[in-house]
Amino acid sequence: MELKYEFYIGASPEKVWDVLVSPEGTRHTFFGCVIKSTFKEGDRFEYVGPGGDGDETVHVYGHILSFAPHEQFSYVEHPGPSYHANHEELESRVTFTLEKAGECTKLTLVNDGWSEGHPSFENAKSHWWMILSNIKTYAETGKTLNMGW
């Protein structure tokens, strides 16, 4: 199973990268979450934000596979502990790739390597569209889409 999305964004790769990894960028585009990590290969990361466990709910966690600023960011993720009792068994891989395309940035997202029967697969199909649309809008305008979050 693989989810793949390609977006063209009217902003530089540096600007899009900042939206993907900075606390301000992720807070505005990833459902109010901040990514916490050293961003070194093999190190842990967490998307933390408001949720069922309070303001510090861990929504997604895992480890960094690759981190090449302005080019590629890849990680293995698991749903947060409050979502599924077997969260450690459930995983997928997420890879963001940035390429300069004229005055724009081509952002490609591939979400693959899903554990068999992963319960988050169906939600991910629609959530990635919302997140990527927000990344595009925020990188281009500095504003986010009001999706009722």
48 in any annotated domain = yes
31 in any annotated domain = yes
92-101 sheet: strands from edge to edge: 3-9, 104-112, 92-101, 72-79, 54-68, 44-51, 34-37
149 in any annotated domain = no
Tell me how far the alpha carbon of residue 120 is from its chain's centroid.
14
62 in any annotated domain = yes
- In the block, residue with structure tokens 């807070």: 27
Q: Is 27 within 8 Å of 49 (Cβ atoms)?
A: yes
What range does the domain containing 64 cover?
3-141
Q: At 35, which CATH number?
A: 3.30.530.20
Q: What is the mean predicted confidence (pLDDT) over 71-87? A: 90
Residues 113-143 have pLDDT tens digits of: 999 989 999 889 989 999 999 999 999 999 9
Q: Is 47 within 8 Å of 35 (Cβ atoms)?
A: yes
pTM value surpassing 0.75: yes
87 in any annotated domain = yes
Phi, then psi, of 24 in degrees rounded to 5: -65, -45
148 in any annotated domain = no
Tell me how many domains the chain contains. 1
Q: What is the mean predicted confidence (pLDDT) over 46-74? A: 92
